[in-house]
């Protein structure tokens, strides 16, 4: 196949297609301009209620998992397992994270540092 002078070659510039991003930005600005001045306080409390539920669930899972890991760590130590101490330390860490997230008052000492979750928790 030979190239003739009558052949037309069209080269298109490849432009990025970020038009969707402009629409998303426009929608966010419209939401902020219309919804937030009238219902912003209510939106704040609804968002914090949802986040509180999520963090309480994560904290409860950490509390249960930490208790199970500590129990298996103690059993593993008595059965001369090699991972018992590491399992217990991870369990203590999970208990500390769970008590911090849920506000459950646990007081145990880890390397001389108090880990009391009875302080004020939540969003202020």
Q: What's the confidence (pLDDT) of residue 117?
A: 47
Instruction: Compute the distance between CA of residue 1 and CA of residue 3 in angstroms, rounded to an integer.
Output: 7
pTM attached to this predicted model: 0.55
Q: What's the confidence (pLDDT) of residue 89?
A: 92
Weakly modelled stretches of the chain, pLDDT under 50? 111, 117
Residue 102 in 3-state DSSP? helix
Q: What's the confidence (pLDDT) of residue 63?
A: 92
Q: What's the confidence (pLDDT) of residue 56?
A: 92
Domain-wise residue ranges, the chain = 49-110
Q: What's the confidence (pLDDT) of residue 69?
A: 93
Instruction: Compute the distance between CA of residue 36 and CA of residue 30 in angstroms, rounded to an integer.
Output: 10
């Amino acid at each position: 196949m030979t190239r003739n002078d009558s052949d037309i070659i069209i080269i298109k510039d490849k432009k990025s297609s970020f038009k969707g991003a402009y629409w998303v930005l426009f929608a966010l600005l419209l939401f902020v301009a219309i919804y937030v001045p009238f219902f912003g306080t209510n939106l704040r409390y609804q968002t914090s209620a949802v986040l509180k539920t999520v963090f309480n669930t994560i904290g409860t899972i950490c509390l249960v998992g930490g208790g199970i890991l500590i129990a298996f760590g103690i059993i593993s130590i008595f059965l001369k397992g090699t991972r018992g101490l590491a399992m217990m330390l991870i369990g203590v860490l999970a208990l500390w994270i769970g008590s911090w997230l849920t506000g459950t008052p646990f007081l145990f000492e880890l390397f001389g540092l108090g880990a009391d979750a009875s302080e004020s928790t939540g969003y202020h």
